[in-house]
């Protein structure tokens, strides 16, 4: 039987900022790019390697996009207790959206763990 992921106390995710960036490339059907800044914080007592992520983006117009895959922006960061990993990336949307999801990883003893991403919004400014 496959091991299940358990939430690891002390492993958390912080959304540092979300910025509407119309100067970035975006397809015609999703013309609104947002840059987000994320920090994964390891305040647990465990060594953790982040190996995967899953994001669910629910748009106001009813569309849902699921983004999942290995690593984080091409990395599988290893975090000792007290360490953080910060990065930024972007997502394109057709409308206002709500984002939620999780980062997944393993501890030194190969326990499978996760940290939930706090729900955050991609909100179009009034002038967009």
Range of the domain at 35: 6-122
Q: What is the DSSP letter of 4?
A: P
Whether 91 maps to a domain, the answer reads yes
Bridge partners (DSSP) of residue 123 are none
Percentage, residues of the chain above pLDDT 70: 98
Across the chain, mean pLDDT equals: 94
Residue 128 lies in a domain: no
Total count of domains within the chain: 1
How many angstroms separate the Cα of 84 from the Cα of each of 40, 78, 95, 125?
A: 6, 9, 31, 31
Q: Is residue 1 part of a domain?
A: no
Residue written as tokens 């015609």? 28
What distance in Å separates the CA atoms of residue 125 and residue 38, rounded to the nearest whole number?
21
- Residue 102, domain CATH: 2.60.40.1470
pLDDT tens column, 52-102: 999 999 998 888 999 999 999 999 999 999 999 999 999 999 999 999 999
Secondary structure letter of residue 44 according to DSSP: S
Percentage above 90 pLDDT, the chain: 91
- Round to whole Å and give the CA distance between 83 and 47: 9
pLDDT of 1 > 70? The answer is no
Q: Give the model's pLDDT for residue 2.
A: 58
CA distances from 70 to 21, 62, 76, 99 (A): 26, 27, 8, 18
Element (H, E) at 58: strand 48-59
Give a yes or no: residue 47 inside a domain. Answer: yes
């Amino acid at each position: 039987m496959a091991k299940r992921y358990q939430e690891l106390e002390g492993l958390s995710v912080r959304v540092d900022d979300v910025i509407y960036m119309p100067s970035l490339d975006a397809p015609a059907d999703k013309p609104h790019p947002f840059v987000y800044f994320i920090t994964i914080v390891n305040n647990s007592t465990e060594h953790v390697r982040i190996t995967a992520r899953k994001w669910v983006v629910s748009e106001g117009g009813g569309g849902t996009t699921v983004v999942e895959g290995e690593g984080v922006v091409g990395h599988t960061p290893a975090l000792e207790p007290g360490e953080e990993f910060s990065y930024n990336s972007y997502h394109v949307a057709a409308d206002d959206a709500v984002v939620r999801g999780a980062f997944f990883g393993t501890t030194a003893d190969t326990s499978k763990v996760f940290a939930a991403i706090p729900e955050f919004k991609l909100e179009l400014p009034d002038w967009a």
